[in-house]
Chains A and B, each alone.
Chain A
Amino acid sequence: MSNDIRTLTARLAEEPASLAFLELAEALRRRGQLDAAYKVARGGLGRYPGLADAHDLLARILGDQGDLAGAFDAWVEALRVDPMRTSALKGIAFLYFRAGNVADAREHLQRAAEIDPDDQSIGQALARMQSGSGRPVSADAGQPAHGSPAVTPESGDAEPSNGSGDDGLLLVDGNGMRLSGSLRSPRNEEVGDRVAAELAGVSKEATRTARLLGLGGWQAIAVESPEGNLYLVPPTPDTVLLTVREPSLPMARLGLIAERAARDARAWLGVQE
């Protein structure tokens, strides 16, 4: 742990109600410790839900994690609290541009330029957009997060059983926490929590992709890999169920297994069909 993070952690421990969480989360983000940064920022937001800085910071962390839908929502919230916040306008412009929506990207940049005409980066981004070259603006005015490994999320309470007891099935909530099931890598390591953390982002990404491309709601994602096939289904809007099997099992059959498991999951969650 670096000195600055140690110092900030100590300060936050001494004064939990202080705004030190902003600096600590940003320092963690810059070091690529995105899960830890997310937890700190979320904790701070719990105390200061009306602080635009905190929503802005959370958006940048989510953006670094690849959760673009989450980043979008956080920047929208930052703007709701502070409509003059140019960093949020630039961030949203960046996301619109990535989604191919140049008109809305330009509109947000122009609003940012009106608010802060001295910010040269906005003018440059608009010019680049006009010429159609490259990304118009970075979602992050600061340095990008480093690519160091993510912090392994803490496990939840005792794992509930859905009756299947099946390795290779993983039920995950909308925050990337494992609700049930377990998963082992080909080297027999328990990887359930790590994969669960990634799946929350996958669900949001799939929802966004399907919606923006006119595919309706997402129903399933089938993923083929040399060592195994994965099948993802959303038993409910807030959960994702992953089924992993050997690549020799036909994907369509894996889909049937996953759909059956999704029905079991809905029953376990108390959702009526």
Chain B
Amino acid sequence: MSPANTALERVTQVPGVRGSLLISGTDGLVVAERLMDGIDGRAIAALAGSLIQRLGRATAGAGLRIPTFVHLRGSSGSVLAAPGQNDLVLVALVSLDANLGLARLEMLDAVGRLN
């Protein structure tokens, strides 16, 4: 199994994670994905990529380095993102009852191993 797929496998095993994918941060394209049926990876990649870029500009404007972890919380679920090196971003779509703490740790560890 490739390192990317291993990373996705670990993240999707966390309770409440509906899927994870590795995207290219600059152009929002899917590099690898592991998603439940009915979830459009391309849409997640494009939207998450765009949001991460925008947040990156905001943090840069504040004189801070690029984000290491982002959590967008909605009323019905969340998107988590862990930007890594080489423009890769590990993204996960999680439900309301997900173990966010564990998902965060797994994602940071996984993206660290990809670097």
Residues of A participating in the B interface, judged by any CB pair closer than 8 Å: 66, 68, 98-101, 183, 185-187, 189, 191, 194-195, 197-199, 201-202, 205-206, 208-210, 212-228, 230, 244
Contact = CB atoms under 8 A, between A and B. Distances in A.
Given A100-B40, A224-B69, A228-B62, A210 B50 contact: no
Interface residues of B, number: 38
Contact of A215 (B55, B68, B76): B76
A208 B68 contact: no
Given A195-B62, A209-B48, A226-B65, A218 B76 contact: no
Given A68-B50, A100-B46, A225-B59, A215 B70 contact: no
Interface string B77-100: 111000000000000010000000
Given A215-B77, A215-B79, A228-B62, A206 B46 contact: no
The 8 residue pairs across chains A and B that have the minimum distance between CB atoms: A185-B63, A215-B74, A100-B43, A216-B75, A100-B42, A216-B76, A198-B58, A210-B74
A225 B56 CA distance: 10
B62 A244 contact: yes
26 contacts: A66-B54, A66-B57, A99-B46, A100-B44, A100-B46, A185-B64, A189-B63, A191-B61, A194-B62, A195-B58, A198-B54, A199-B58, A210-B72, A213-B44, A214-B76, A216-B76, A217-B74, A218-B73, A223-B55, A223-B71, A224-B68, A224-B69, A224-B70, A225-B64, A226-B64, A230-B62
B79 A209 contact: yes
Contacts of B4: none
Of B59, B62, B72, B76, most A-chain CB atoms within 10 Å: B62
Given A215-B76, A223-B67, A225-B64, A98 B44 contact: no
Main SS at interface, chain A: mixed
A215 B48 CA distance: 13
B102 interface: no
A244 B45 CA distance: 27
Nearest to A201: B54
Contacts of B65: 225-227
A202 B51 contact: yes
Nearest to B70: A223
A208 B43 CA distance: 11
B25 interface: no
A209 B76 contact: no
A221 B73 contact: yes
A214 B43 contact: no
A212 B59 contact: no
A92 to B, nearest CB: 15
A226 B46 contact: no
